[in-house]
C-alpha cells in the first residue's frame, strides 16, 4: 500500500515541479501596467464632487486639478481604469464625473473639463485615453436629450 501511494505521489510531485517553467520566470521579470500612485486633489470642491462617483471595477481616481481660465476655471480629472483602452470606453466614466462637477460648487465657474485614464508600465504611461468638453457651460449634463447624446459630446484627444 505504501509503495502504491509513493508511486502515485511521485508523478504528482513531478507535475507540480513542471509548472514552475521559464514562463513564470518571465512573468516575474516583466513589469505589468499598474495604476500610478494617487495624488490628493488639492481643490476641496473637486475632491468632494468626484469622491462619490461610481467607478468601474479596478478603477481609481489618481488626481485632479482646477486651473484658472479666462472667465472661469478648467477642471481635469485623472483616473486609472485598467479596462479602459479607448475613448468610447472612457465616455461613460467621464460623463459620470462631469455630471458630478456640474452640480458642485465648481459647476457655475467651469469653462472646460478634461478626463484622462492611464496606467504606468516601466515608467511610461500606457493605455492613455483623454477626452475633453470645452463647452462645459453650454452643456446641461443632466441626461437630456439622451445618455448617448451626452457621451457623444466628448471630444477625443487620444485613444
H, E, C per residue of 64-122: EEEEEECCEEEEEEEEECCCCCCHHHHHHHHHHHHHHHHCCCCHHHEEEEEEEEEEEEC
Domains in the chain: boundaries: 44-158
CA dihedral 140, 141, 145, 149 (to 10 degrees): 120
Handedness of CA 8, 14, 16, 18 (dihedral sign): negative
The pLDDT, as a whole number, for residue 14 is 34
The pLDDT, as a whole number, for residue 33 is 83
As a whole number, mean pLDDT of residues 58-65 equals 96
The pLDDT, as a whole number, for residue 86 is 96
Categorize the per-residue pLDDT at 10 as very low, low, confident or very high, splitting at 50, 70 and 90: very low
Which one has a higher pLDDT value, 19 or 71?
A: 71
Other CB atoms within 10 A of residue 146 CB: 9
> Under 8 Å CB-to-CB from 113, ≥6 apart: which residues?
74, 75, 76, 77, 97, 98, 101, 132, 133, 136
Inform me whether the pLDDT recorded for 72 exceeds 80: yes
pLDDT in tens, 22-60: 333 433 344 578 999 999 999 999 999 999 999 998 999
The whole-model pTM stands at 0.79
As a whole number, mean pLDDT of residues 98-114 equals 97
How far does CA 121 lie from the centroid of its chain?
A: 14
User: What value does the mean pLDDT of the chain take?
Assistant: 84
The pLDDT, as a whole number, for residue 159 is 87
Amino acid at each position: 500500500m505504501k509503495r502504491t501511494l509513493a508511486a502515485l505521489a511521485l508523478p504528482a510531485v513531478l507535475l507540480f515541479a513542471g509548472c514552475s517553467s521559464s514562463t513564470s520566470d518571465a512573468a516575474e521579470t516583466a513589469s505589468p501596467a499598474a495604476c500610478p500612485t494617487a495624488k490628493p486633489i488639492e481643490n476641496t470642491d473637486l475632491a468632494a464632487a468626484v469622491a462619490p462617483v461610481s467607478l468601474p471595477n479596478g478603477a481609481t481616481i489618481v488626481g485632479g486639478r482646477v486651473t484658472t481660465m479666462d472667465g472661469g476655471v478648467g477642471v481635469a480629472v485623472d483616473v486609472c481604469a485598467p479596462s479602459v483602452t479607448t475613448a468610447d470606453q472612457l465616455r461613460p466614466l467621464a460623463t459620470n464625473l462631469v455630471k458630478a462637477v456640474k452640480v458642485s460648487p465648481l459647476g457655475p465657474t467651469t469653462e472646460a473639463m478634461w478626463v484622462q485614464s492611464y496606467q504606468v508600465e516601466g515608467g511610461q504611461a500606457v493605455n492613455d485615453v483623454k477626452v475633453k468638453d470645452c463647452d462645459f457651460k453650454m452643456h446641461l449634463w443632466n441626461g437630456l436629450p439622451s445618455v448617448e447624446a451626452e457621451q457623444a459630446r466628448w471630444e477625443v484627444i487620444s485613444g
